Structure 1
């Protein structure tokens, strides 16, 4: 029997702490691997520098990274009257819902967006002028409909042959976390991406990976520590505050994940040696793999074209399957469908009371009070989360996206 209550009954107010504004890192350090590293191992807390990480990992660990790449998703548009409207691209709607395909779309597309100064935008298009291959180019946006705080925006552009990914690169701005409250800079263009970012689609960085440098990767390789990659395109929901009194009233955001068969085989081969997630997004993806495989085994009638992990799936009653069985079920699904890549979505909420199925440790930054990310940390380390955060505050660690790092090995 679990010692934890039903996660639906948890109050987010029990997962808070005082975070002075002065402790939020406003800028990245000059060298990304010189951040501090808090190591929590078996109840003990130690202070290190991030370059120490390879020597602090279990020798037989597998590190799993999220290789998503942040897109320039903020667009500052002008109305014909000269007024400004800000559009924040969240996810594609048409003609493709796949982020990868939407980024290659030419001519026009529809995205779900947040709209700044939206009340001043009554009718008609807004535009962004930009330069493409040293020539003038133009992006036009029209609002189709608005609901639930979002708007569906029809984008069209000239030259029409330019892929939407290139339009955003030329016309957009990096979507820095709102709490930084500043415009993006040329430094952010480099430092708000991981050195291994590969697949465009995130509107927020997988910040645990921002500390890794080529030198740290070389040290990992020299020590024989295995690495692997997956893709979860981080959505704006990662900044969504928990406003409900209890977690049952909070709707977890959904995010697309992409995992190839090679990683599934790697995970199977590596067990039972420790798998360590680099960041909460990698962790949520890895744990979601178990629940996707379990759903295929326990509910064979699952719509195979719409694989999805619901928010509360891990906490619902039902017979358990082993991690190996779940991963084998995913590989069998890929074989049946003739695909090499598993595409799915996840709303997985990891909170105290959750039983981890794949991961044994986590590399992560220090998260905001009363956030679902802090709940995830508490699920992994238990009540010691408070001791870890008290230590970080007392020893001048830097917090949030551009802040310092931790290695949690419970």
Structure 2
């Protein structure tokens, strides 16, 4: 398939620049993948879409304040976006500056963009493709530095600096495992009260950990989508979650992934046997139309960028034309898009092929 097959026009004013006053105040576009029928709801009405034997699977990653500013010892200003913590005192990061720093050089960090250098420094240890290895002096935990002077890594389409509100709102209420540099945004709509209401109905919850990397915003640059090099992200799926999925299957319930990161987690863990098995390591699974889903029956997700790998994933779940028609309706109804925007609840379409098939590889 072509990248251009997943293009749509979005009026810029529909890109949400701030969260709503109420975390669960977003709209919810419900899409029946079998019929293509749409219904307009408010997010708390997700409860009405759930059944007692369902299982909701959440990604419990926690966003780190991964954006830093500073300067080279020669004075050149730069911006750092941590991609991945690789140790207590080490990380791989993107560095934006006029001339790339060399291994062995130091970076003098500041508390804000264009600010004067403060007490913290980093050493550039290596160049790894487009990334740079960074290390703190004398083994100082990098997470401590990030907590003091780091900024929340808002996506590039949010055209404003981060502020105090983002510290809480660009984080799910159940975030636990530090390591993401982008939020699993479908989970941003859930409140403690809504989770309590889900529990009260006997609907079960389980968790995976996928540390969302900056590569999630990487555009598809190849016209043939199969040629796109998918970025890798760290993933853990434990035995308890696998057992919860198996029990849901025995009860005849649905496995509902909260966010595309939970979809990718469960599908990665299901590659070997057709059902989730404990998994720990990187995943670069790329899901696009033709993929046969093994683990997921429905999903909660936000709206995704034109021509993005995530739009391709949800299109694989219900069909490209069905998904693009739903997006056209959302635009016509002035839904809010992307990280701080509105959400969808999607049930699998016939294209998803939701029966396990151990013989199938990652892609169709």
TM range (shorter): 0.7 to 0.9
Cα deviation digits, residues 118-156 of structure 1 (max 9, x gap): 4175684121256xxxxx983212333435332222x22
Matched, 1:128 2:100: no
Matched, 1:379 2:316: yes
State how far apart, in whole Å, the 2-side matches of 1:285 and 1:68 are.
12
- Post-superposition offset of 1:209: 0.2
Residue 353 (structure 1) aligns with: 290
State how far apart, in whole Å, the 1-side matches of 2:124 and 2:283 are.
28
Residue 24 (structure 1) aligns with: 15
Cα deviation digits, residues 325-355 of structure 1 (max 9, x gap): xx4xx46xxxxxxxxxx41211111110011
Gaps of 5+ in 2: 112-116, 349-364
Deviating 4+ runs (over 4 angstroms) = 120-123
8 Å contact kept, 1:144–1:152: yes
- Post-superposition offset of 1:89: 1.1
Secondary structure of residue in 2 paired with 1:215: helix
8 Å contact kept, 1:85–1:121: no
Matched, 1:289 2:289: no
8 Å contact kept, 2:108–2:118: no
Secondary structure of residue in 2 paired with 1:180: coil
- Post-superposition offset of 1:59: 3.1
Name whichever of 81-90 and 346-355 sits farther off. 81-90
Matched, 1:63 2:59: no
State how far apart, in whole Å, the 2-side matches of 1:245 and 1:193 are.
34
Correspondent of 2:6 among 7, 15, 20: 15
State how far apart, in whole Å, the 2-side matches of 1:16 and 1:56 are.
29
Matched, 1:370 2:307: yes
Matched, 1:47 2:40: yes
Correspondent of 2:199 among 221, 234, 238: 221
Residue 112 (structure 1) aligns with: 92
Matches within 5 A, 1:11-410: 11-41=2-32, 42=34, 43-80=36-73, 82-92=75-85, 97=86, 102=87, 105=88, 108-109=89-90, 111-119=91-99, 121=101, 124-128=105-109, 138-146=119-127, 148-153=129-134, 155-157=135-137, 160=138, 162-271=140-249, 272-291=252-271, 293-294=272-273, 322-323=274-275, 327=276, 330=277, 342-382=279-319, 383-410=321-348
Report how many residues are paired.
337
Task: Please give the TM-score of this superposition, normalised by the length of structure 2.
Answer: 0.88
Gaps of 5+ in 1: 1-9, 131-135, 295-321, 332-341
State how far apart, in whole Å, the 2-side matches of 1:161 and 1:113 are.
18
- Post-superposition offset of 1:218: 1.6
- Post-superposition offset of 1:214: 1.1
Query: Which has more helix, going by share of residues?
Result: 1
Seen in structure 2, the aligned counterparts of structure 1 residues 120 and 355 have a Cα distance that, compared at 3 Å, is closer
Secondary structure of residue in 2 paired with 1:34: coil
State how far apart, in whole Å, the 2-side matches of 1:344 and 1:147 are.
19
- Post-superposition offset of 1:54: 0.9
State how far apart, in whole Å, the 2-side matches of 1:169 and 1:184 are.
14
State how far apart, in whole Å, the 1-side matches of 2:125 and 2:50 are.
51
- RMSD, aligned α-carbons: 2.0
Secondary structure of residue in 2 paired with 1:398: coil
8 Å contact kept, 1:257–1:346: yes
- Post-superposition offset of 1:12: 1.1
Secondary structure of residue in 1 paired with 2:221: coil
